[in-house]
Each structure stands twice: as C-alpha cells, then as structure tokens.
Amino acid sequence: MLTGLFKPLNPAIKDWRGRSVWIVGASSGIGAALASALLQAGARVAVSARRADRLQALIDSHPDCGQRACVVPFDVTDAQAWQAACETVWQAFGEIDLVVLGAARYDPQHAWNLNMQDVRASYELNVISMYEAVAQLTPRLLGQRHGSLAVIGSISGYTGLPRAVVYGATKAALQNFTETLYFDLAPKGIGVFLISPGFVQTPMTAKNDFEMPGLMTPDQAAVAIMRGLAKGQFEIRFPRGFANALRWISRLPYRWRFALLHRATKQ
C-alpha cells in the first residue's frame, strides 16, 4: 500500500517521438520555447495564439520539422473559435497526447489604481478561457481514452504579492481549478499537470521594474517543464529554490508571512 504513495500522479512522458502536442499560447515566451524544444525532441506540435505571423515564424525556424508542425491561430476568449480549432488540430494529428494551456496576460496593478477593463480582460483570458478549453477538450480526450492536460499557472498564485492583485488572483484560481480537474479526470485515465513558473524572461515580465529572484530564460523553463513531464509530476514548479521557498512561506501564519514578504519585496 505504501508503494502507491510514491507512484507518479500522472503518466510520465519521456519519449516525445511520435507524440502529438498542442500548445495554446505559443507565440512567445514559455509556450514558444516549449514548442521548439518538443519539435527538436521529435514530437508533432500544433501551436496556437492570436498572432498567426509569430506562430508561422516559430515553425519556419524549424525547417526540418516537415509535417510535424501545425499552425492554428485563434482567439482563446472566443468560445466558438475553440470548437473550430479543436476540429483542425484533431483532423491534423488524429489524436492528441498533451494539450498545454498557457495563454495569459499580466497587468501590474495596485488596489488604488485598478483598471476595471484590464481586470475583466485578465479574468476572461486567464480563467474563463481555460473553462472554454476544458469544455471542448475533455470530451475528445475521454473519447480517445488517453492524453493529458497541462495548465500553466504561476507561483504568484501561492500567496498575495505586491502589484499582483489581479494576476495573482487569476493564477490562484487556476491552481484550484487544476487540482479539481485532477480529481475529475485522473480516475478516467487523463493526466492533469499544473505548471507553476516563477519569473521567466517574457514580454509579460518585461513590465516589472524590480529585481526578479531566480529569473530564468524561456528555454530553461521549457527544460524544467519537460523534466517534470518525464517524472509524471502533478505540479511542475520552477526555479526550484525560489518556488519552493515561496511555497513554504505561503504555509506560514499570516503574521509571519506578511512580515517576510513585506521585507523581501520592500513594500
């Protein structure tokens, strides 16, 4: 019985040759780097985002991938577009082994200068679009009786942080959302992964005007994700030191937690 406690929570994905992956949010940053890494590893990869030109440029940078790449541009906040995109990807690849959901936006804000238009747009993209995705993807994955979903959250969802009054809240929602997905789907043979990055050099973090601990490149993030997938981990968090420290801090009593975070962030 105890041996079951140490088994991977998800099917481990180690060999990517012949695997089919769909990355949503692949025009830049982590999504683009992961798509490149998977193509290099021999996977068939569909890439999606709103910017068709950036997606095509990504695929063109891998001229040796041949028919292993598929560009499917669409707006993830458009419910009807999800259905059409799913049909295109499944028609191209037949079956999908992994879908990575990573489309997101980040607008640094404080409570005293909230832009409600940005707040609504953040929830629409960061949270509601994930429900649209799952509503379309889950029946297909259940129908093929295998496959996995990976949701890109953030370690900012662990605890309240300065300037993350909107972004952090959406990522906290995604953590709970993905945990609940695991309860629903894992017993039915569908893998569910939660990817929790720290600071990664992307267009989103370029908005930050403070020192970012443990800052990683997108390529380093892609390596960390693939390492976690190979282990079948439920949560893939990185960079390990900073992410684990913030996770530990989030478990502290509020008095200690707030004091530590105020000192660390100089707020």
More confident residue, 266 or 82: 82
Confidence label for 12 from pLDDT (cuts 50, 70 and 90): very high
CA trace torsion 90, 154, 201, 108 (10° rounding)? 120
Asked if residue 1 has pLDDT above 70, the reply is no
pLDDT of residue 161: 87
Average pLDDT over residues 153-178: 94
Q: Determine the residue type at 238.
A: F
Asked if residue 53 has pLDDT above 70, the reply is yes
Average pLDDT over residues 82-89: 96
Classify domain 13-265 at the CATH topology level: Rossmann fold (3.40.50)
pLDDT of residue 4: 63
Estimate to the nearest angstrom the gap between the alpha carbon of 178 and the chain centroid. 11
Confidence label for 133 from pLDDT (cuts 50, 70 and 90): very high
- Chain-wide mean pLDDT for the chain? 93
- For the chain, which residues make up each domain, given as ranges? 13-265
pLDDT tens digits, residue range 217-261? 999 999 999 999 999 999 999 999 999 999 999 999 999 999 998
Stated pTM of the model: 0.94
Percent of the chain's residues with pLDDT above 90: 82
Asked if residue 56 has pLDDT above 80, the reply is yes
Q: CA nearest 23: which of 183, 244, 177, 229?
A: 229
pLDDT tens digits, residue range 67-83? 899 999 999 999 999 99
Instruction: Kindly tell me the burial class for residue 156, based on how many C-beta atoms sit within 10 Å of its own C-beta (0-12, 13-18, 19 or more).
Output: buried
**DSSP code per residue over 125-172:** IIIIHHHHHHHHHHHHHHHHT--EEEEE--GGGSS--TTBTTHHHHHH
pLDDT tens digits, residue range 138-165? 999 999 999 999 999 999 999 998 889 9
Which structure tokens are listed for 246? 């913030």
Q: Determine the residue type at 36.
A: S
Q: Are 257 and 249 in contact (CB under 8 A)?
A: yes
